[in-house]
Structure 1
Amino acid sequence: MTQQSTPHRSTPRRWRIGGLLGIGVLVNYFDRISLSVAAPQLQQEFHLSSSDLGVLFSAFFWTYALLQIPTGLILDRFGVTRVGRWGALLWGVASTLTACAGGFGGVFVARALLGVAEAPGFPVSAKATGYWFPRRERAMATALFDAAAKFSNVIGVPLVALTVVNLGWRWGFGLTALLSLAYFVAFTLIYRDPSQDSKLSAEEYRHITEGGAAAEGVSQAGSLAMLGYLLRQRKVWGLSIGFAAYGYVFYLFLTWLPGYLVQTMHMSILKSASYAAIPWIFATLADLLVGGWLIDHLIARGHDETRVRKGVLLGGMLLGLAVFGTTTTSDPLIAIVWISIALSGLAAAAPVGWSLPSLIAPRGGTGTVGGIMNFANNMMGAVAPIVTGIIVGNTHSFTNAFLIAGFMLLIGVLSFLFLLGRIEPIAEPPASLAK
């Protein structure tokens, strides 16, 4: 132990680490949304159809999703510090390659490589949050990095849009490459696990560990054995199916909202960026205030943890059904209201989902549970853009795309309700699975 004796109230090291993780997700999502903003210029320059755009939007998610489970296994084996550093470095490399792409094929390959690079991003943040925060602070800590995913659209879309309009789409990707490399430097200099952080006081360390933080260390079972064990757990399936439904709607809007406003509402790139920021502002607030502060506040006051977390989880998913409202209007303001309600509900539910791997996983299995959950989530990130592109290309309307999104959410609600059960740790694997 290298902790100092300074009281944790004067040096809230854990919240600084939480802020660092939030900045990482913010930069991570700048990389993801850049293609959505640049899409109109790419479509014109390379003569792409709506279906072509859907394929490009999905390229990132195929590799990103397929690597989630391997990433979880690697993360549980090698730890947050090493995996987080290498991942952050590769973000910048992949974004640079996107900026240099010469056509559809080049953009597709570069985006697929970006998916490889960013695969550890969210699992690293989820596992680090489990190490650094006691259970009663876990919702707010998780909301910090999850809200950054939503807030990236508030500042990232206008920022990238200004860059794209004034300097061209290549500079939009160049900007995100520079930000990614800057975060790599910051993470390398700042992040350590709690037991290895010399700037963490002994008192704050006790506050973290005695409050139920996830135990540091590697899995006591072999990686594949742990994976097989977790895949047999109903809780893991309930979490994964429910989060996949959330992911379908979230990634539909993440990739297609600017295009929806340009194509259906006939807006310019800059105007669509300003309108698209509105739902994400409300989503960010809902993420922090409901998915974060309110949950921790209610649990601290003695309310049942399972009821609080599942109440917000199910309530947020049900509010997401406001996506059906977008099918009833051609007024952009009304459409933005419906989308704001839907994304706010989903944003409130998301920190609960991301806090669950560290709350239900057996020792050393948080990364694997997070990998399984995020695999299901991001496979929908691959599917939703393609399905939406095909529907829009064939019908010249987003109506059926939004209807499918609503039905996906209904499946997710049923999964959380009947499969997840109580939010409590899964039993340790039997001794026969030990290394």
Structure 2
Amino acid sequence: MEQVQVVTTTEDAVAASQRAAPEAKAEARPSRAWARWGVLALLAVGALIAFVDRINISAALTTGPFKEHFSLTNVDRGWINSAFFWSYALFQVPMGWAVDRFGVKRPYAICFVIWCLASAAIGLMPALWGLILMRLLVGAAEAVVVPASYRWIRNNFHPDNSGAAVGVYMLGAKFGPAIGAPLAAWLIVHLNWQLMFLITGLAGLVWLVPWMLAVKSDLPTRAAATVAAAKKKVDVSILTILSSPLVWGTLVVNFCYNYFTFFCMTWMPAYLVEQRGLSLEQMGLYTFYSFMGIALVALASGYAADKLIQRYGRPVLIRKIFVVAGFAIACTVLLGARATDVNTALFWNVASLSGLGLTTANNLALCSLTLIPAPIVGRVKGVQNVATALAGGVAPLITGWLLHATGSFVAPMTLIFAFLVLGALTVIVMLRPEWAPKVPDDAEAKA
């Protein structure tokens, strides 16, 4: 039975309570290690496929035939990029409830089929309404990815050792855009945009075979349901959670981080083609470099932070240093926006997003695992995911509007710089263990 953590006012107490968690016992069983990492690899590949189906639209939006087919303006392009995130945000909490109630395996598989088919169907849509409807379906179904993945990681990895696990998962989340943009561009150049959607959507269904064969059913048993019912008696309401300054701090940090990443997923291809004059294939290559960079840095920095925590303790301080450093390096995006030389602009385009990888895994481990009491991780993560999806909905719209108003990407990228600075300051000022939502002292007995 899972031990419930009680947040105290000292960082050392947080670390000590986490080290005492029963998950450490599971990690001590070598015979189960391969299975844990194998499922984690499948989750990473699932995230990769999700992001391929999420970002392929951005490559299509740079092509004349696609824009002419749907008669798109810059503002229309912003709305299309944004549509995914509105349904994605709306279904975060329902999907979190679904994986808590029915486990990870079956809900993930059902949603996976839906988003792959909806992504493929974009290639068959005759009008703008059909395009938007399919993007809404993709967003709703992909809402299962984050709550399912983090539920599985939380149940199988100790928080102090979660940086590497989150880093492996984030390899898929970042390699998805890295692979998806050049793949979509190549398919459009050599075939057409209709076949690109059909191929990228349907090919992903192959993933279902190892998922259904290798992953054990985690449908909660009657005993687990009893424990879950007991945990629900812990009197921590959503209003109590939202009254925590730390929770609001995590919302701001997640919004600022994701505003930049979602800009890159939705508008970076157009920036590289329209403002920097790259061909569609060159755009795909430089997008690959940027997202490959953030993926590798995220994995390495998550692993490095885990090792430092194991040696020196102080998990909150160490992860905060990595998060702030990532925001600081990402601020070089402004240098790329204002560069007059194309090669200089491309260098900072890759360096800024790669540097943000220092933030990626450590921010997720810090805001979603280390600082949050175990009995309310699900509820807090649901709230955080809404903020993340809000960034995805707002970033494409504001970028499209600023591009329409100014005719340049300098203004949208200056706004990104401002959000990155805000994110770093929020980490320093607001992410304090003593400001976390409190769990009643009798929570452990109730659970």
Please give the TM-score of this superposition, normalised by the length of structure 1.
0.87
Q: Which moved more, 1:128-137 or 1:106-115?
A: 128-137
Structure 1: give runs of 5+ residues left out of the alignment: 197-215
Structure 1 Cα separation of the partners of residues 125 and 182 of structure 2 = 23
Aligned counterpart, 1:427: 438
Structure 1 Cα separation of the partners of residues 389 and 427 of structure 2 = 18
Letter matched to residue 159 of structure 2:
R
Aligned counterpart, 1:266: 277
Work out whether residues 99 and 171 of structure 1, in 8 Å CA contact, stay in contact via their aligned partners in 2: yes
| 1:243 correspondence with 2:254 | yes
Please, which of 406, 409, 415 is the counterpart of residue 404 of structure 1?
Answer: 415
Please, which of 165, 174, 178 is the counterpart of residue 150 of structure 1?
Answer: 174
Q: Which moved more, 1:345-354 or 1:218-227?
A: 218-227
Q: Which moved more, 1:238-247 or 1:175-184?
A: 175-184
Structure 2: give runs of 5+ residues left out of the alignment: 2-25, 221-226
Q: Which moved more, 1:74-83 or 1:403-412?
A: 74-83
Aligned counterpart, 2:14: none
Aligned counterpart, 1:367: 378
Aligned counterpart, 2:45: 23
Aligned counterpart, 1:205: none
Letter matched to residue 42 of structure 2:
L
Please, which of 44, 50, 66 is the counterpart of residue 90 of structure 2?
Answer: 66
Structure 1 Cα separation of the partners of residues 230 and 416 of structure 2 = 37
Please, which of 154, 164, 167 is the counterpart of residue 188 of structure 2?
Answer: 164
Structure 1 Cα separation of the partners of residues 387 and 236 of structure 2 = 20
Q: Which moved more, 1:126-135 or 1:244-253?
A: 126-135
Instruction: Report SS of the residue matched to 2:264.
Output: helix
| 1:281 correspondence with 2:292 | yes
Count of matched residue pairs: 413
Work out whether residues 95 and 173 of structure 1, in 8 Å CA contact, stay in contact via their aligned partners in 2: yes
User: What is the percentage of aligned positions where both structures have the same residue?
Assistant: 28
Work out whether residues 312 and 348 of structure 1, in 8 Å CA contact, stay in contact via their aligned partners in 2: yes
Work out whether residues 306 and 423 of structure 1, in 8 Å CA contact, stay in contact via their aligned partners in 2: no
Q: Following TM superposition, by how much is the alpha carbon of 1:399 offset from its aligned partner in structure 2, in angstroms?
A: 0.4
Runs of 4+ aligned structure 1 residues displaced above 4 Å come to: 193-196, 216-219, 222-226, 423-426, 429-432
Letter matched to residue 245 of structure 1:
C
Q: Following TM superposition, by how much is the alpha carbon of 1:217 offset from its aligned partner in structure 2, in angstroms?
A: 4.7
Structure 2 Cα separation of the partners of residues 330 and 178 of structure 1 = 41
Structure 1 Cα separation of the partners of residues 158 and 244 of structure 2 = 25
Work out whether residues 128 and 193 of structure 1, in 8 Å CA contact, stay in contact via their aligned partners in 2: no
Work out whether residues 83 and 393 of structure 2, in 8 Å CA contact, stay in contact via their aligned partners in 1: yes
Work out whether residues 230 and 369 of structure 1, in 8 Å CA contact, stay in contact via their aligned partners in 2: yes
Work out whether residues 219 and 363 of structure 1, in 8 Å CA contact, stay in contact via their aligned partners in 2: no
Work out whether residues 51 and 390 of structure 1, in 8 Å CA contact, stay in contact via their aligned partners in 2: yes
Aligned counterpart, 1:305: 315
Please give the TM-score of this superposition, normalised by the length of structure 2.
0.84
Q: 1:223 to 1:405 in 2, by over 3 A?
A: farther
Structure 2 Cα separation of the partners of residues 176 and 226 of structure 1 = 42
Structure 2 Cα separation of the partners of residues 111 and 195 of structure 1 = 29
Please, which of 35, 55, 59 is the counterpart of residue 13 of structure 1?
Answer: 35
Structure 2 Cα separation of the partners of residues 274 and 306 of structure 1 = 36
RMSD over aligned Cα, in angstroms? 2.9
Work out whether residues 287 and 347 of structure 1, in 8 Å CA contact, stay in contact via their aligned partners in 2: yes
